[in-house]
Structure 1
Amino acid sequence: MPRVGMQISGGHADIEYGVTGSGPALVLVHGTGSHSEAWDQQVEALKGKFTVVTPDLSGSGGTVDHGGPLTLGDLVAEVLAVADHAGLDTFHLAGHSLGGVVALRLAAEHPRRVRSVVSHAGWAYTDQRMTADFRYSLNLLRTDAESGTSLVSQMFPLATLGPRYWAATDEASHEKLVQQIAENPQPGTARQFEVGLTVDLRPLLGRISAPALVFASAHDRVCGADQQQLLRDGIPGASYAEIETGHNALAEDPQGFAAVLGSFLTQHAGV
Protein backbone atom coordinates (compact mmCIF):
# COMPACT_ATOMS: atom_id res chain seq x y z
CA MET A 1 0.00 0.00 0.00
CA PRO A 2 1.25 3.53 -0.72
CA ARG A 3 2.56 5.73 2.09
CA VAL A 4 3.27 9.42 2.51
CA GLY A 5 5.61 10.94 5.09
CA MET A 6 4.77 14.24 6.74
CA GLN A 7 5.20 16.36 9.84
CA ILE A 8 2.33 16.65 12.28
CA SER A 9 2.32 18.60 15.53
CA GLY A 10 4.15 15.98 17.60
CA GLY A 11 6.70 14.83 15.03
CA HIS A 12 6.91 12.67 11.93
CA ALA A 13 4.14 10.43 10.56
CA ASP A 14 4.09 7.87 7.76
CA ILE A 15 0.50 7.62 6.57
CA GLU A 16 -0.56 4.42 4.84
CA TYR A 17 -3.56 4.43 2.50
CA GLY A 18 -5.35 2.29 -0.02
CA VAL A 19 -6.41 3.30 -3.51
CA THR A 20 -8.61 1.36 -5.90
CA GLY A 21 -11.17 1.81 -8.66
CA SER A 22 -11.56 4.42 -11.38
CA GLY A 23 -13.53 7.59 -11.90
CA PRO A 24 -13.94 10.73 -9.79
CA ALA A 25 -11.88 10.71 -6.61
CA LEU A 26 -13.50 9.75 -3.31
CA VAL A 27 -11.72 9.81 0.06
CA LEU A 28 -13.21 7.76 2.93
CA VAL A 29 -12.14 8.53 6.52
CA HIS A 30 -12.61 5.98 9.32
CA GLY A 31 -13.60 6.63 12.92
CA THR A 32 -12.10 6.15 16.38
CA GLY A 33 -10.66 2.72 17.10
CA SER A 34 -11.12 1.67 13.50
CA HIS A 35 -9.00 1.63 10.32
CA SER A 36 -9.36 1.90 6.57
CA GLU A 37 -10.56 -1.71 6.17
CA ALA A 38 -13.81 -0.73 7.88
CA TRP A 39 -14.74 0.72 4.47
CA ASP A 40 -14.11 -2.52 2.52
CA GLN A 41 -17.74 -3.17 1.62
CA GLN A 42 -18.26 0.46 0.63
CA VAL A 43 -15.12 0.35 -1.50
CA GLU A 44 -16.41 -2.78 -3.21
CA ALA A 45 -19.73 -1.07 -3.94
CA LEU A 46 -18.22 2.20 -5.21
CA LYS A 47 -14.96 1.29 -6.97
CA GLY A 48 -16.71 0.82 -10.31
CA LYS A 49 -17.64 4.51 -10.35
CA PHE A 50 -15.01 6.16 -8.17
CA THR A 51 -11.30 6.11 -7.49
CA VAL A 52 -11.56 5.32 -3.77
CA VAL A 53 -8.80 6.40 -1.38
CA THR A 54 -8.84 5.10 2.21
CA PRO A 55 -6.25 6.52 4.63
CA ASP A 56 -5.30 5.05 8.02
CA LEU A 57 -5.29 7.94 10.48
CA SER A 58 -2.59 8.15 13.13
CA GLY A 59 -3.15 5.41 15.68
CA SER A 60 -4.72 3.00 13.18
CA GLY A 61 -3.83 0.38 10.63
CA GLY A 62 -0.45 0.62 8.94
CA THR A 63 0.20 4.27 9.80
CA VAL A 64 3.21 4.90 12.03
CA ASP A 65 3.91 8.15 13.87
CA HIS A 66 5.57 9.61 16.98
CA GLY A 67 3.13 7.92 19.36
CA GLY A 68 2.25 11.08 21.29
CA PRO A 69 -0.83 13.28 21.53
CA LEU A 70 -2.73 14.16 18.38
CA THR A 71 -4.88 17.10 17.34
CA LEU A 72 -7.89 17.28 15.05
CA GLY A 73 -5.75 19.49 12.82
CA ASP A 74 -3.19 16.67 12.56
CA LEU A 75 -5.83 14.26 11.27
CA VAL A 76 -7.13 16.78 8.75
CA ALA A 77 -3.57 17.38 7.55
CA GLU A 78 -3.04 13.64 7.17
CA VAL A 79 -6.09 13.23 4.93
CA LEU A 80 -5.04 16.22 2.84
CA ALA A 81 -1.47 14.86 2.53
CA VAL A 82 -2.85 11.53 1.31
CA ALA A 83 -5.01 13.31 -1.27
CA ASP A 84 -1.98 15.29 -2.47
CA HIS A 85 0.21 12.18 -2.63
CA ALA A 86 -2.49 10.34 -4.60
CA GLY A 87 -2.63 13.25 -7.08
CA LEU A 88 -6.15 14.37 -6.22
CA ASP A 89 -6.69 18.04 -6.99
CA THR A 90 -10.33 17.81 -5.95
CA PHE A 91 -12.27 14.95 -4.42
CA HIS A 92 -15.50 13.82 -2.84
CA LEU A 93 -15.15 13.16 0.87
CA ALA A 94 -16.99 11.00 3.40
CA GLY A 95 -16.25 10.13 7.00
CA HIS A 96 -17.71 8.03 9.79
CA SER A 97 -17.83 9.27 13.41
CA LEU A 98 -14.50 11.02 14.12
CA GLY A 99 -13.82 10.62 10.40
CA GLY A 100 -16.98 12.63 9.74
CA VAL A 101 -15.66 15.39 11.98
CA VAL A 102 -12.35 15.33 10.09
CA ALA A 103 -14.20 15.47 6.76
CA LEU A 104 -16.33 18.45 7.80
CA ARG A 105 -13.38 20.42 9.09
CA LEU A 106 -11.40 19.72 5.93
CA ALA A 107 -14.35 20.83 3.79
CA ALA A 108 -14.65 24.05 5.81
CA GLU A 109 -10.94 24.89 5.71
CA HIS A 110 -10.18 23.77 2.13
CA PRO A 111 -13.40 24.41 0.19
CA ARG A 112 -11.70 24.46 -3.22
CA ARG A 113 -10.55 20.86 -2.77
CA VAL A 114 -13.84 19.22 -1.74
CA ARG A 115 -16.54 18.52 -4.34
CA SER A 116 -19.03 17.07 -1.84
CA VAL A 117 -18.88 15.95 1.77
CA VAL A 118 -20.72 13.31 3.81
CA SER A 119 -20.65 13.07 7.59
CA HIS A 120 -22.05 9.84 8.98
CA ALA A 121 -22.52 9.81 12.78
CA GLY A 122 -20.35 12.90 13.11
CA TRP A 123 -20.94 15.68 15.59
CA ALA A 124 -20.77 19.47 15.90
CA TYR A 125 -19.10 19.74 19.29
CA THR A 126 -18.28 17.46 22.20
CA ASP A 127 -20.98 18.25 24.73
CA GLN A 128 -20.98 17.17 28.38
CA ARG A 129 -22.64 13.80 27.77
CA MET A 130 -20.18 12.93 25.02
CA THR A 131 -17.30 14.09 27.21
CA ALA A 132 -18.41 11.69 29.94
CA ASP A 133 -18.81 8.91 27.37
CA PHE A 134 -15.32 9.41 25.91
CA ARG A 135 -13.69 9.67 29.34
CA TYR A 136 -15.40 6.45 30.41
CA SER A 137 -14.03 4.76 27.28
CA LEU A 138 -10.55 6.05 28.11
CA ASN A 139 -10.84 4.63 31.63
CA LEU A 140 -11.82 1.23 30.19
CA LEU A 141 -8.86 1.30 27.82
CA ARG A 142 -6.50 2.01 30.73
CA THR A 143 -8.03 -0.80 32.79
CA ASP A 144 -7.67 -3.25 29.91
CA ALA A 145 -4.03 -2.23 29.41
CA GLU A 146 -3.21 -2.58 33.11
CA SER A 147 -5.24 -5.68 33.98
CA GLY A 148 -5.50 -7.67 30.76
CA THR A 149 -9.29 -7.41 30.72
CA SER A 150 -11.48 -7.03 27.63
CA LEU A 151 -13.88 -4.35 28.80
CA VAL A 152 -13.57 -2.21 25.66
CA SER A 153 -14.38 -5.09 23.31
CA GLN A 154 -17.48 -5.81 25.41
CA MET A 155 -18.50 -2.15 25.52
CA PHE A 156 -18.12 -1.31 21.82
CA PRO A 157 -21.08 -3.42 20.57
CA LEU A 158 -23.29 -2.13 23.39
CA ALA A 159 -22.45 1.47 22.49
CA THR A 160 -22.38 1.27 18.70
CA LEU A 161 -24.82 -1.40 17.46
CA GLY A 162 -28.58 -0.99 17.29
CA PRO A 163 -31.76 -3.09 17.34
CA ARG A 164 -31.09 -4.65 13.94
CA TYR A 165 -27.93 -6.29 15.29
CA TRP A 166 -29.41 -7.39 18.61
CA ALA A 167 -32.51 -8.91 16.99
CA ALA A 168 -30.39 -11.02 14.64
CA THR A 169 -27.60 -12.19 16.96
CA ASP A 170 -27.39 -14.91 19.60
CA GLU A 171 -25.03 -15.43 22.53
CA ALA A 172 -22.46 -17.45 20.58
CA SER A 173 -22.39 -15.02 17.65
CA HIS A 174 -22.11 -12.05 19.95
CA GLU A 175 -19.25 -13.59 21.91
CA LYS A 176 -17.49 -14.29 18.62
CA LEU A 177 -17.79 -10.61 17.70
CA VAL A 178 -16.45 -9.52 21.10
CA GLN A 179 -13.49 -11.86 20.63
CA GLN A 180 -12.79 -10.49 17.17
CA ILE A 181 -12.74 -6.94 18.54
CA ALA A 182 -10.44 -8.00 21.39
CA GLU A 183 -8.03 -9.65 18.95
CA ASN A 184 -7.80 -6.63 16.63
CA PRO A 185 -7.20 -3.56 18.78
CA GLN A 186 -6.03 -0.34 17.16
CA PRO A 187 -3.00 0.93 19.09
CA GLY A 188 -3.98 4.59 18.99
CA THR A 189 -7.61 4.29 20.07
CA ALA A 190 -7.02 6.25 23.28
CA ARG A 191 -5.21 8.99 21.37
CA GLN A 192 -8.16 9.26 18.98
CA PHE A 193 -10.63 9.48 21.88
CA GLU A 194 -8.51 12.32 23.26
CA VAL A 195 -8.93 14.13 19.93
CA GLY A 196 -12.65 13.56 20.19
CA LEU A 197 -12.73 15.42 23.50
CA THR A 198 -11.53 18.60 21.77
CA VAL A 199 -14.06 18.85 18.92
CA ASP A 200 -15.94 22.09 18.28
CA LEU A 201 -16.89 22.63 14.64
CA ARG A 202 -19.61 25.21 15.31
CA PRO A 203 -17.53 28.22 14.19
CA LEU A 204 -16.59 26.41 10.95
CA LEU A 205 -19.80 24.82 9.73
CA GLY A 206 -21.04 27.94 7.94
CA ARG A 207 -17.89 27.92 5.79
CA ILE A 208 -18.74 24.59 4.14
CA SER A 209 -19.73 25.39 0.56
CA ALA A 210 -19.66 21.92 -1.02
CA PRO A 211 -22.88 19.92 -1.24
CA ALA A 212 -23.14 18.22 2.16
CA LEU A 213 -25.03 15.23 3.51
CA VAL A 214 -25.67 14.86 7.24
CA PHE A 215 -26.12 11.08 7.46
CA ALA A 216 -27.50 9.92 10.80
CA SER A 217 -28.16 6.60 12.49
CA ALA A 218 -31.63 6.47 14.05
CA HIS A 219 -30.42 4.51 17.08
CA ASP A 220 -27.10 6.26 17.61
CA ARG A 221 -26.19 6.26 21.33
CA VAL A 222 -22.87 8.04 20.72
CA CYS A 223 -23.77 11.01 18.47
CA GLY A 224 -27.49 11.49 18.84
CA ALA A 225 -30.20 13.45 17.08
CA ASP A 226 -29.28 16.71 18.83
CA GLN A 227 -25.82 16.64 17.28
CA GLN A 228 -27.20 15.82 13.84
CA GLN A 229 -29.60 18.75 14.13
CA LEU A 230 -26.71 21.08 14.97
CA LEU A 231 -24.92 19.93 11.82
CA ARG A 232 -28.06 20.36 9.70
CA ASP A 233 -28.63 23.85 11.05
CA GLY A 234 -25.00 24.89 10.76
CA ILE A 235 -24.09 23.68 7.24
CA PRO A 236 -25.66 25.83 4.50
CA GLY A 237 -28.05 23.79 2.34
CA ALA A 238 -27.17 20.46 3.96
CA SER A 239 -29.15 17.40 2.92
CA TYR A 240 -30.20 14.81 5.49
CA ALA A 241 -30.55 11.02 5.48
CA GLU A 242 -31.10 8.46 8.20
CA ILE A 243 -30.48 4.74 8.51
CA GLU A 244 -32.13 2.32 10.98
CA THR A 245 -28.97 1.29 12.81
CA GLY A 246 -26.85 2.17 15.79
CA HIS A 247 -23.73 4.31 15.57
CA ASN A 248 -21.72 1.77 13.57
CA ALA A 249 -23.91 1.48 10.49
CA LEU A 250 -20.89 0.39 8.45
CA ALA A 251 -20.91 -2.92 10.32
CA GLU A 252 -24.60 -3.24 11.12
CA ASP A 253 -26.07 -2.55 7.67
CA PRO A 254 -23.27 -2.18 5.11
CA GLN A 255 -25.60 -2.60 2.13
CA GLY A 256 -28.02 0.04 3.37
CA PHE A 257 -25.12 2.35 4.15
CA ALA A 258 -23.68 1.86 0.65
CA ALA A 259 -27.06 2.63 -0.92
CA VAL A 260 -27.42 5.98 0.87
CA LEU A 261 -23.79 6.99 0.37
CA GLY A 262 -23.72 5.87 -3.26
CA SER A 263 -26.94 7.71 -4.11
CA PHE A 264 -25.66 11.02 -2.75
CA LEU A 265 -22.22 10.70 -4.32
CA THR A 266 -23.55 9.62 -7.70
CA GLN A 267 -25.90 12.60 -7.74
CA HIS A 268 -23.09 15.08 -7.10
CA ALA A 269 -20.37 13.37 -9.14
CA GLY A 270 -22.52 12.92 -12.23
CA VAL A 271 -21.59 9.23 -12.65
Structure 2
Amino acid sequence: MTLWTDLAGVDYEIRYEQVGPWRTRVLERGHGPALVFLHGTGGHLEAFARNLRALGDRFRVVAYDLPGHGWSTLTGRDLEIADYQEHLLGLLDALRIPAAHLSGESLGGWVAAKFAAAHPERVSSLILNTPGGTMADPAVMERIRSLSQAAADDPSYERIRTRLEWLMADPASVTGELVAIRQSVYAQPGFPDSMRHLLCLQDPQIRRRNLLTDAELDAITAPTLVIWTTDDPSGPPSEGEALAGKINGAQFRLIKDAGHWPQWEQRAVFDALVIDFVTRNTS
Protein backbone atom coordinates (compact mmCIF):
# COMPACT_ATOMS: atom_id res chain seq x y z
CA MET A 1 0.00 0.00 0.00
CA THR A 2 1.36 3.46 -0.84
CA LEU A 3 0.52 7.11 -0.34
CA TRP A 4 -1.17 7.56 -3.69
CA THR A 5 -1.77 11.29 -3.29
CA ASP A 6 1.94 12.10 -3.08
CA LEU A 7 2.93 9.54 -5.71
CA ALA A 8 0.19 10.26 -8.23
CA GLY A 9 1.71 10.45 -11.70
CA VAL A 10 5.16 9.41 -10.45
CA ASP A 11 6.98 6.46 -12.00
CA TYR A 12 8.29 4.07 -9.35
CA GLU A 13 8.54 0.36 -8.59
CA ILE A 14 7.74 -1.57 -5.43
CA ARG A 15 9.04 -5.11 -5.14
CA TYR A 16 10.55 -7.54 -2.66
CA GLU A 17 14.22 -8.46 -2.32
CA GLN A 18 15.33 -11.47 -0.32
CA VAL A 19 18.16 -10.40 2.00
CA GLY A 20 19.21 -13.33 4.15
CA PRO A 21 16.08 -14.36 6.09
CA TRP A 22 14.35 -11.03 5.39
CA ARG A 23 11.85 -10.62 2.55
CA THR A 24 12.36 -6.90 2.19
CA ARG A 25 9.91 -4.44 0.64
CA VAL A 26 11.78 -1.97 -1.56
CA LEU A 27 10.64 1.08 -3.49
CA GLU A 28 12.81 2.46 -6.29
CA ARG A 29 12.45 5.57 -8.41
CA GLY A 30 14.78 7.35 -10.79
CA HIS A 31 18.30 6.92 -12.12
CA GLY A 32 21.75 8.18 -11.30
CA PRO A 33 23.64 8.20 -7.99
CA ALA A 34 22.02 5.86 -5.46
CA LEU A 35 20.30 7.61 -2.53
CA VAL A 36 19.02 5.16 0.08
CA PHE A 37 16.47 6.18 2.75
CA LEU A 38 16.18 4.45 6.14
CA HIS A 39 13.11 5.14 8.30
CA GLY A 40 12.63 5.20 12.07
CA THR A 41 11.38 2.82 14.76
CA GLY A 42 8.00 1.34 13.92
CA GLY A 43 8.05 3.11 10.57
CA HIS A 44 7.92 2.12 6.91
CA LEU A 45 9.10 3.43 3.57
CA GLU A 46 6.07 5.71 3.13
CA ALA A 47 7.82 8.09 5.55
CA PHE A 48 9.61 9.37 2.42
CA ALA A 49 6.68 9.36 0.00
CA ARG A 50 6.61 13.15 -0.18
CA ASN A 51 10.27 13.30 -1.26
CA LEU A 52 10.24 10.77 -4.08
CA ARG A 53 8.95 13.12 -6.75
CA ALA A 54 11.69 15.75 -6.49
CA LEU A 55 14.56 13.49 -5.47
CA GLY A 56 13.70 10.73 -7.94
CA ASP A 57 14.07 13.23 -10.78
CA ARG A 58 17.78 13.51 -9.94
CA PHE A 59 18.85 10.30 -8.21
CA ARG A 60 18.20 6.58 -8.02
CA VAL A 61 16.13 6.75 -4.85
CA VAL A 62 15.69 3.61 -2.78
CA ALA A 63 13.41 3.42 0.28
CA TYR A 64 12.80 0.17 2.11
CA ASP A 65 11.09 -1.36 5.12
CA LEU A 66 13.67 -2.33 7.72
CA PRO A 67 13.61 -5.90 9.09
CA GLY A 68 10.63 -6.41 11.39
CA HIS A 69 9.02 -3.24 10.03
CA GLY A 70 6.39 -2.34 7.46
CA TRP A 71 5.68 -5.16 5.03
CA SER A 72 9.10 -6.74 5.34
CA THR A 73 9.43 -10.01 7.25
CA LEU A 74 8.38 -9.53 10.87
CA THR A 75 10.74 -10.49 13.65
CA GLY A 76 10.46 -13.00 16.46
CA ARG A 77 13.61 -11.82 18.23
CA ASP A 78 15.12 -8.58 19.41
CA LEU A 79 16.85 -6.60 16.67
CA GLU A 80 19.84 -4.48 17.61
CA ILE A 81 21.82 -2.07 15.43
CA ALA A 82 24.22 -4.75 14.17
CA ASP A 83 21.25 -6.66 12.73
CA TYR A 84 20.11 -3.64 10.73
CA GLN A 85 23.69 -2.96 9.57
CA GLU A 86 24.09 -6.51 8.31
CA HIS A 87 20.78 -6.27 6.49
CA LEU A 88 21.73 -2.95 4.85
CA LEU A 89 24.99 -4.44 3.59
CA GLY A 90 23.09 -7.38 2.11
CA LEU A 91 20.49 -5.09 0.54
CA LEU A 92 23.13 -2.93 -1.16
CA ASP A 93 24.68 -6.11 -2.53
CA ALA A 94 21.30 -7.40 -3.74
CA LEU A 95 20.61 -4.09 -5.48
CA ARG A 96 24.15 -4.03 -6.96
CA ILE A 97 24.95 -0.70 -5.34
CA PRO A 98 28.69 -0.51 -4.66
CA ALA A 99 28.38 2.75 -2.72
CA ALA A 100 25.34 4.83 -1.77
CA HIS A 101 24.39 8.17 -0.35
CA LEU A 102 22.61 7.19 2.88
CA SER A 103 19.85 9.29 4.44
CA GLY A 104 18.58 7.94 7.74
CA GLU A 105 15.84 9.33 9.97
CA SER A 106 15.79 8.53 13.72
CA LEU A 107 16.61 4.79 14.01
CA GLY A 108 17.57 4.91 10.34
CA GLY A 109 20.15 7.62 11.06
CA TRP A 110 21.55 5.56 13.91
CA VAL A 111 21.95 2.57 11.60
CA ALA A 112 23.40 4.69 8.78
CA ALA A 113 26.02 6.28 11.06
CA LYS A 114 27.14 2.91 12.45
CA PHE A 115 27.23 1.54 8.91
CA ALA A 116 29.33 4.46 7.64
CA ALA A 117 31.87 3.88 10.40
CA ALA A 118 32.08 0.13 9.71
CA HIS A 119 31.89 0.22 5.90
CA PRO A 120 33.32 3.54 4.69
CA GLU A 121 33.87 2.19 1.18
CA ARG A 122 30.11 1.65 0.75
CA VAL A 123 29.03 5.20 1.71
CA SER A 124 29.33 8.12 -0.70
CA SER A 125 27.81 10.61 1.72
CA LEU A 126 25.75 10.54 4.90
CA ILE A 127 22.64 12.50 5.84
CA LEU A 128 21.63 12.10 9.48
CA ASN A 129 18.06 13.35 9.83
CA THR A 130 17.08 13.79 13.51
CA PRO A 131 19.10 10.62 14.15
CA GLY A 132 19.01 8.36 17.16
CA GLY A 133 21.98 6.70 18.77
CA THR A 134 23.49 9.49 20.85
CA MET A 135 20.87 9.98 23.58
CA ALA A 136 19.28 7.81 26.22
CA ASP A 137 16.59 10.02 27.80
CA PRO A 138 14.38 7.72 29.91
CA ALA A 139 11.30 9.90 29.41
CA VAL A 140 11.65 9.94 25.62
CA MET A 141 12.38 6.20 25.52
CA GLU A 142 9.32 5.39 27.59
CA ARG A 143 7.14 7.66 25.46
CA ILE A 144 8.28 5.93 22.27
CA ARG A 145 7.77 2.52 23.82
CA SER A 146 4.32 3.20 25.24
CA LEU A 147 2.90 4.98 22.19
CA SER A 148 4.34 2.46 19.72
CA GLN A 149 3.25 -0.67 21.53
CA ALA A 150 -0.21 0.73 22.24
CA ALA A 151 -0.67 1.45 18.53
CA ALA A 152 0.53 -2.03 17.58
CA ASP A 153 -1.70 -3.74 20.14
CA ASP A 154 -4.72 -1.68 19.11
CA PRO A 155 -4.26 -0.17 15.62
CA SER A 156 -7.32 2.02 15.95
CA TYR A 157 -7.49 5.36 14.17
CA GLU A 158 -7.06 7.20 17.47
CA ARG A 159 -4.00 5.28 18.70
CA ILE A 160 -2.25 5.35 15.33
CA ARG A 161 -2.90 9.05 14.96
CA THR A 162 -1.59 9.75 18.47
CA ARG A 163 1.65 7.91 17.66
CA LEU A 164 2.09 9.83 14.41
CA GLU A 165 1.26 13.20 15.98
CA TRP A 166 4.18 12.68 18.37
CA LEU A 167 6.45 12.95 15.33
CA MET A 168 5.12 16.29 14.12
CA ALA A 169 5.42 19.93 15.11
CA ASP A 170 1.91 20.47 13.77
CA PRO A 171 -0.56 17.63 14.48
CA ALA A 172 -2.47 18.66 11.35
CA SER A 173 0.48 17.33 9.34
CA VAL A 174 -0.82 13.83 10.02
CA THR A 175 -3.13 13.01 7.12
CA GLY A 176 -5.90 10.45 7.15
CA GLU A 177 -4.06 8.67 4.35
CA LEU A 178 -0.91 8.30 6.47
CA VAL A 179 -2.99 6.95 9.37
CA ALA A 180 -4.62 4.41 7.05
CA ILE A 181 -1.23 3.23 5.74
CA ARG A 182 0.09 2.65 9.25
CA GLN A 183 -3.13 1.00 10.36
CA SER A 184 -2.77 -1.55 7.58
CA VAL A 185 0.83 -2.27 8.59
CA TYR A 186 0.10 -2.55 12.30
CA ALA A 187 -2.97 -4.75 11.76
CA GLN A 188 -0.86 -7.57 10.31
CA PRO A 189 -1.03 -10.85 12.25
CA GLY A 190 1.99 -11.04 14.50
CA PHE A 191 2.87 -7.36 14.31
CA PRO A 192 2.37 -6.61 18.04
CA ASP A 193 4.99 -9.24 18.91
CA SER A 194 7.34 -7.90 16.26
CA MET A 195 6.95 -4.40 17.71
CA ARG A 196 7.95 -5.66 21.17
CA HIS A 197 11.21 -6.90 19.70
CA LEU A 198 11.77 -3.69 17.73
CA LEU A 199 11.39 -1.67 20.91
CA CYS A 200 14.28 -3.46 22.61
CA LEU A 201 16.43 -0.42 21.83
CA GLN A 202 14.25 1.58 24.22
CA ASP A 203 15.48 -0.67 27.05
CA PRO A 204 18.23 1.28 28.88
CA GLN A 205 20.70 -1.61 29.09
CA ILE A 206 20.29 -2.69 25.48
CA ARG A 207 20.37 0.91 24.28
CA ARG A 208 23.62 1.66 26.09
CA ARG A 209 25.52 -1.11 24.33
CA ASN A 210 24.24 0.10 20.95
CA LEU A 211 24.87 3.84 21.29
CA LEU A 212 27.23 5.53 18.87
CA THR A 213 30.68 5.91 20.38
CA ASP A 214 33.05 8.80 19.85
CA ALA A 215 35.44 6.37 18.16
CA GLU A 216 32.75 5.37 15.66
CA LEU A 217 31.85 8.97 14.92
CA ASP A 218 35.53 9.78 14.42
CA ALA A 219 35.79 6.83 12.00
CA ILE A 220 33.14 8.29 9.65
CA THR A 221 34.99 9.51 6.56
CA ALA A 222 32.00 10.18 4.28
CA PRO A 223 30.87 13.80 3.86
CA THR A 224 28.13 14.19 6.46
CA LEU A 225 25.13 16.46 6.88
CA VAL A 226 23.32 16.50 10.24
CA ILE A 227 19.74 17.79 10.06
CA TRP A 228 17.85 18.76 13.21
CA THR A 229 14.62 20.68 13.78
CA THR A 230 13.24 23.34 16.06
CA ASP A 231 10.53 21.03 17.43
CA ASP A 232 12.09 17.57 17.56
CA PRO A 233 10.52 15.64 20.48
CA SER A 234 13.62 13.47 20.89
CA GLY A 235 15.97 16.28 21.88
CA PRO A 236 16.99 19.94 21.36
CA PRO A 237 18.99 21.27 18.40
CA SER A 238 22.10 21.36 20.59
CA GLU A 239 22.15 17.54 20.40
CA GLY A 240 22.42 17.70 16.63
CA GLU A 241 25.10 20.38 16.78
CA ALA A 242 27.09 18.29 19.26
CA LEU A 243 26.80 15.25 16.99
CA ALA A 244 28.00 17.20 13.96
CA GLY A 245 30.94 18.45 16.00
CA LYS A 246 32.15 14.89 16.55
CA ILE A 247 32.17 13.92 12.86
CA ASN A 248 35.08 15.21 10.80
CA GLY A 249 33.94 18.02 8.51
CA ALA A 250 30.23 17.47 9.17
CA GLN A 251 27.75 20.22 8.38
CA PHE A 252 24.75 21.10 10.55
CA ARG A 253 21.44 22.48 9.31
CA LEU A 254 18.38 23.41 11.37
CA ILE A 255 14.93 23.13 9.80
CA LYS A 256 12.28 25.35 11.37
CA ASP A 257 8.67 24.41 12.11
CA ALA A 258 9.20 20.65 11.95
CA GLY A 259 9.31 17.80 14.43
CA HIS A 260 10.90 14.38 14.01
CA TRP A 261 9.92 14.12 10.31
CA PRO A 262 11.26 17.27 8.59
CA GLN A 263 11.18 15.38 5.29
CA TRP A 264 7.40 15.24 5.72
CA GLU A 265 6.50 18.57 7.31
CA GLN A 266 9.01 20.74 5.43
CA ARG A 267 9.54 18.69 2.30
CA ALA A 268 10.68 21.54 0.05
CA VAL A 269 13.37 22.65 2.51
CA PHE A 270 14.48 19.07 3.14
CA ASP A 271 14.56 18.17 -0.56
CA ALA A 272 16.60 21.27 -1.41
CA LEU A 273 19.16 20.44 1.28
CA VAL A 274 19.46 16.85 0.09
CA ILE A 275 19.73 17.75 -3.60
CA ASP A 276 22.45 20.30 -2.91
CA PHE A 277 24.41 18.03 -0.56
CA VAL A 278 24.25 14.87 -2.66
CA THR A 279 25.03 16.72 -5.87
CA ARG A 280 28.08 18.37 -4.33
CA ASN A 281 29.33 15.02 -3.06
CA THR A 282 28.83 13.01 -6.22
CA SER A 283 32.04 12.46 -8.15
TM-score by length of 1: 0.83
- For 1:246, the equivalent position in structure 2 comes to 259
Alignment pair present for 1:50 and 2:59: yes
Inter-CA distance 143–48: structure 2 relative to 1 (3 Å threshold): closer
- For 1:26, the equivalent position in structure 2 comes to 35
Give the AA of the match of 2:229.
S
- For 2:5, the equivalent position in structure 1 comes to none
Contact 2:155 2:183 in 1 (8 A): no
Inter-CA distance 252–53: structure 2 relative to 1 (3 Å threshold): same
**What is the CA distance between 1:218 and its match in structure 2?**
1.5
Alignment pair present for 1:160 and 2:167: yes
Structure 2 alignment gaps of length 5 or more: 1-14
Matched residue SS, 2:275: helix
What CA RMSD, in Å, does the superposition of the two structures yield over aligned residues?
2.6
CA distance in structure 2 between the aligned counterparts of 1:89 and 1:141, rounded to whole angstroms = 35
Inter-CA distance 182–50: structure 2 relative to 1 (3 Å threshold): closer
User: C-alpha deviations, 1:72-106, integer Å up to 9, x for none?
Assistant: 11111111111110001111111111111111111
Matched residue SS, 1:2: strand
- For 1:208, the equivalent position in structure 2 comes to 220
Contact 2:102 2:123 in 1 (8 A): yes
- For 1:133, the equivalent position in structure 2 comes to 140
Contact 1:141 1:190 in 2 (8 A): no
User: C-alpha deviations, 1:178-228, integer Å up to 9, x for none?
Assistant: 954762444344433323551410231000001000011121111322321
**What is the CA distance between 1:34 and its match in structure 2?**
1.4
CA distance in structure 2 between the aligned counterparts of 1:200 and 1:238, rounded to whole angstroms = 19
Alignment pair present for 1:262 and 2:266: no
CA distance in structure 2 between the aligned counterparts of 1:14 and 1:116, rounded to whole angstroms = 27
User: Of 222, 225, 229, which residue of structure 2 is paired with 1:217?
Assistant: 229
Matched residue SS, 2:227: strand
- For 2:69, the equivalent position in structure 1 comes to 60
CA distance in structure 2 between the aligned counterparts of 1:261 and 1:182, rounded to whole angstroms = 26
Contact 1:124 1:201 in 2 (8 A): yes
User: Of 13, 19, 25, which residue of structure 2 is paired with 1:5?
Assistant: 19
- What percent identity do the matched residue pairs reach? 27
Structure 1 alignment gaps of length 5 or more: 7-11
Counting matched residue pairs gives 256
CA distance in structure 2 between the aligned counterparts of 1:46 and 1:2, rounded to whole angstroms = 22
CA distance in structure 2 between the aligned counterparts of 1:259 and 1:97, rounded to whole angstroms = 20
- For 1:233, the equivalent position in structure 2 comes to 245
Contact 1:123 1:223 in 2 (8 A): no
Inter-CA distance 157–236: structure 2 relative to 1 (3 Å threshold): same
CA distance in structure 1 between the aligned counterparts of 2:25 and 2:181, rounded to whole angstroms = 22
